[in-house]
Structure 1
Amino acid sequence: MSPVSLRRWGWIHKWSSLVCTIFMLLLCLTGLPLIYHHEIGHLLGTEVEPPVLSSPMPQGNVDAVIASAKELYPTKLPMFISQEADVPEIWNVTLADHMHDHDYKPIAVDARTTKVIEEPAFEGGVFMSTMLALHVDLFMGLPGMLFLGFMALLLLVAIVSGAVLYSPFMRKLDFGTVRKERSSRLKWLDMHNMLGIVTLVWLFVVGGTGMINTWADLMYKYYQRNELASILKQYEGKKPLPHTASVHDAIETARAALPGMRVAFVAFPGTDFSSAHHYGIFMNGNEAFSSRMYRPVLVDANSGELTDAPELPWYLKALLVSQPLHFGDYGGQWMKFLWAVLDIATIIILVTGLYLWLKRGKAGKTSTRIATHAHETSATPAFARSGEPS
């Protein structure tokens, strides 16, 4: 690599990493507890457990489940009902004051007895909801999501440029060498470089899926205005009729339309995942991958008739794949453990990168001159001695 190219890649890596480092550090720190959100929920007592019954019972009528939740808050409207694949004994009913209200009231209802179990803390309580909000949008909604998406893009740039710079850095050293006998600053530089190259693929995957996840709201809106609008052309200009159809029967209609699939959640008419005329019943499979891939079934909320069961477009499928992959939700406890270890390694990379920048001293002032003569050095290339993360 020529000295000019080396300087150019060094500049790209320096500024892309410096701009995004603080925010990436925040995302790593908040993402770590989110990897174990179920386990933390059990520890904090915010996870709802199904009551133990004296004898097995089949699941009850879903309309009775919704009615039990509404008895607690008669003026609120049902927004969603959902079931976790591993806890089919519980229906999670979400209520709100109106269809565009995001101040949700969750109610856990026994799917067998149709009786209310408890009112769980939304998003797992104050701690977990704070971690989630910071990780997703910095409490800023869509602007915060898009900002974090841009930071994730800068992270990808930093990863690529760091990988390019690593090759000349290692040409006189064994892979993963940490020169402990040299200065403290050089030791931290070697540690930074070694962890960066070892976690490169994981960082790229998590950064890329994180960036895709920040586009979720825009993707859903695009889907509603295009594919969904085309499917619902027959309802265009029509005033929504009363929602008199049974939710229980609508679910049975969806199960008949897609046999072998289970109900993940139901979106009520007027919410973001349905139309003003339909129950949006989202089905998924029972395998590790298919359980993350939803298939919507639209059932007329007045007549109870099936309207359509369309395949999701490719960009929503990509989103659905990226969401669990981002948090390591595919492979059980071992994958979660791997994700946690790599998350901690990334925190070390970010902290050492900041340390090297703050301690750059005279080397930072002379980095350009040294980079010009990098091809003449034997063990330590110019960008490394300048203290810029690589």
Structure 2
Amino acid sequence: MKSKSIKKLYTLHSWVGVITGILLFVIAFTGAVSVFGRPEIKLWANPEIRALAPIDTIKIEQLIEEYSHKVPEHYKEEILVFLPAVRSSTKLFIMFESHHGELVDEAQVSEGEKPKHNPPVAAVYEFDPVTYELTDEKRGLVEELFADSKYDMSEFIVGFHADLHMGRPIGLLTTGVLGLTMMLSIVTGIFIHRKILAQMFTFRPRKSYSLMLNDGHKAIGVWGLLFNSVIAFTGAFLGLAIVVLVPAAAFVSFGGDQEKLIETFTAVPDPIIQNVQQPTAVAQSFDHILTLEDGLEVNTLTIKGYGDATAMMYFGASGGKKMGYQTIIYNGKGEFLKKNTTYQRLDGYAGIILDVMFPLHFGNFGGIFVKIIWTVLGIGTALLPLTGLMLWLERGVNAANPKYSLDTYQRFNRLIVGGCGGIVIATFLLFPSQMFFKYLYPVENIGRALWWPFFGSWLLVLFVASIAPCEKKVAKQLANITAFILLSIFPIDVVVTGLNLFTQWSHGQLVSLGIDVTCFTLGVYLLTAIKKFDGVKNDVETHDVIVKTAQEGA
């Protein structure tokens, strides 16, 4: 490729990184943490479900039967069961739903008019996951019941990674576009670093600051090339699918009817009710699922036609041999019919590709070891734009004829330190904040309360970095604060829950124990890394002298 083309690609690569680098770090770093969002962080955040006994399937069957007599008949059109400690629930939820709303007395309908129904309504019963005692019940419109749902730090961090808490369509569109810009950076990076493979084993952290950034950026780019490409593509797809791809597909194939499109691929059909009473064998079906595959875990249950001879049960499950989410179907007698993934009904490879998008992006397959690998590689993905930004900044400051003033470079450096350092502190601050709002200052909806420490700390760090005279010192202090927060997570967990290392081990709470130990270890490692980093002074000192001289001259 000609040198002029290489130069243009380098310019494109640089500007894409400069414009989107901080946001890419934010998305990638929170994504690395979100890998453990469900169920690992969910279990840590809610000690009452850390060591639950196996699900009592007979008890669940009895509860469904008991409370089915406490709701109107049309509320039994669909029964949903959400199991605790699997994905997002901390309690057992049983919901009786009427898709057609409250029934209307036809005698009150004017002649010539069709009977109308209100929006879907439901009765939701909440049970303690240990004792199975009723703890709460609600009735009302389905959209209102779900809009008022409670959440905690696990949903908070996963939701932030998905759409920056900006909602649809703006949030998803933003993260989707960032996925596309990351793909563009990867492609242009491959072309401008043609000899990068020869340098993939070169890393000189002690020689100079610039060499450390240069070698680190190239090493992360090469060793994480496949992973970064997969994350960028799947992230772009998941972000843009609902906002762009679904409306486009609906326009082409369903006349613009998006609900019809989604129903075609995700809805479960209603059985033809025969009005022949027959007990629905919920417990028998539950127990049989465990014999189908090793590692298969039931998340939800949908029952259509409960108590009728034509009843059907649809179990939502994850794990097992397939990467995608599975639906396992039984009839009312508890006889296994079939199992399929969400998009298995599509012919060819399209269904397979769509099914693996979500688990491939979050590492939700292959168990805990895959998640660990995804998190480590995800941190590398976050460091890729960060090292690129710092390298661009370092070269600009030390250039013989800088493109911009030293003051401009310094302002941008402050933004990098505040934006990237702030999100790291805000993310880890969620751990002690979760325990604070759960035990010391209880609130009804912890997820909403977490907005204050998360965004408040991030904005505070941005402000401090913007007025600090020396960005290097601010970065070092932010690293020390991060280490302190990480070291404090284990002691805080012990103090507020009374569950120490030996107690968690003896009670089989290995997931929460693993998170505590990992955070503590990371805190120790970070303190050690800070001391080692102080030895890399050559270019940093030069940069500080230049900036200081420029400030004195001004």
TM over 0.5: yes
Identify if the C-alpha distance between structure 1 residues 211 and 248 changes in structure 2 by more than 3 Å, giving closer, same or farther: farther
Given the superposition, is the C-alpha separation of residues 307 and 130 from structure 1 closer, same or farther in structure 2, using an over 3 Å criterion? same
Preserved contact between residue 183 and residue 233 of structure 2 (Cα < 8 Å): yes
Instruction: After TM superposition, list the pairs within 5 Å mapping 1:251-266 onto structure 2.
Output: 260=292, 264-266=299-301
The answer to which structure has the higher helix fraction is 2
Q: 1:174 to 1:229 in 2, by over 3 A?
A: closer
Q: Please, what TM-score do these two structures have when normalized by structure 2?
A: 0.47
Which secondary structure state, in structure 2, belongs to the residue aligned with residue 365 of structure 1? Answer: coil
What is the CA-CA distance between 1:27 and the residue it aligns to? 1.7
Distance 1:69 1:210, change over 3 A: farther
Q: Match of 1:290?
A: 322
The correspondence for 2:190, drawn from 159, 163, 184, is: 163
Q: Which residue of 2 aligns with 1:272?
A: none
1:281 and 2:314 aligned: yes
Inter-CA distance 177–48: structure 2 relative to 1 (3 Å threshold): same
Letter in 1 for 2:382: I
> Is 1:365 matched up with 2:403?
yes
Counterpart in 2 of 1:376?
Answer: none
Q: Quick check: 1:208 aligned with 2:233? A: yes
Letter paired with 2:369: W
Question: Which of 350, 364, 375 is residue 329 of structure 1 equivalent to?
Answer: 364
1:199 counterpart = 2:232: no
**Structure 1 position 182, deviation (Å):** 5.7
Residue 372 of structure 1: aligned partner: none
Q: Residues 1-390 of structure 1 correspond to what in structure 2 (within 5 A)?
A: 1-37=1-37, 38-46=39-47, 48=49, 52=53, 59-60=57-58, 62=60, 64-66=62-64, 80-83=80-83, 92-93=92-93, 95=95, 107=126, 115-116=133-134, 125-143=151-169, 144-168=171-195, 170=196, 174-180=199-205, 183-215=208-240, 217=242, 219=246, 225-226=260-261, 228-229=263-264, 248=280, 260=292, 264-267=299-302, 281-282=314-315, 284=317, 287=320, 289-290=321-322, 292-295=324-327, 311-313=344-346, 315=350, 317-359=352-394, 360-361=396-397, 362=399, 365=403
Q: Aligned partners of 1:226 and 1:333: how far apart in 2?
A: 34
What residue is the counterpart of 1:273 in the other structure?
none
TM-score by length of 1: 0.64
The alignment-based identity, stated in percent, is 20
Check the 8 A contact 2:300/2:317 in 1, yes or no.
Answer: no
User: Partners in 2 of 1:59 and 1:254 — Cα distance?
Assistant: 6
Q: Which has the larger radius of gyration?
A: 2
The 1:91/1:43 distance shift into structure 2, 3 A limit, reads closer
Call closer, same or farther: CA 1:296–1:5 in 2, change over 3 Å: farther
* Range 221-230 or range 342-351, more displaced: 221-230
Deviation at 1:48, TM superposition (A): 2.1
Cα RMSD between the aligned structures? Answer: 5.4
Shift of 1:198: 1.3
SS at the partner of 1:329? coil
Q: Which has the higher contact order (CA 8 A, sep 6+)?
A: 1
Q: CA separation in 2, counterparts of 1:147 and 1:319?
A: 21
Once the two structures are TM-superposed, the CA of residue 126 in structure 1 deviates from its matched residue by 2.9
- Distance of 2:312 and 2:172 partners within structure 1: 28
SS of the residue 1:81 aligns to: strand
